[in-house]
Amino acid sequence: VQLQASGGGLVQAGGSLRLSCKASGIIFRVNDMNWYRQAPGKQRELVATITTEGSTNYADSVKGRFTISRDNNRDTMDLEMKSLKPEDTAVYYCSSRRTGYFSREYIHWGQGTLVTVSS
């Protein structure tokens, strides 16, 4: 299984970035997909989720600024980030999650991509 995150970089406050996550080795369409982030010295936090049905959920801190999407034909997930703030600076990770038989969970992580927002 491989989740390849890309699109991070340095951007000024108020700017935009688009992160992408390419999945391989999983049946993408049956996995809920997530973006997490981890800022220096802080715990990893859930940023956004998109379910197999396309329902989305966002952390309060990014609502109205970030948009998560997925393309089941290309096995990709994106995170469109607008109006970026310095506090959005973090390593962003994509993650897949599937619940199998007997409620067993299958979770996979990508390697992360760094987003730095300068003030």
What is the DSSP secondary-structure string of 32-87? EEEEEEE-TTS--EEEEEE-TT--EEE-TTTTTTEEEEEETTTTEEEEEE-S--GG
How far is it, in rounded angstroms, from Cα 38 to Cα 93? 8
Binned at pLDDT 50, 70 and 90, residue 20 comes out as very high
Structure-token pair, residue 95: 């993650």
Structure-token pair, residue 61: 């801190």
pLDDT at 74: 97
pLDDT at 31: 95
The string of pLDDT tens digits covering residues 68-114 is 999 999 999 999 999 999 999 999 999 999 999 999 999 999 999 99
How far is it, in rounded angstroms, from Cα 72 to Cα 115? 25
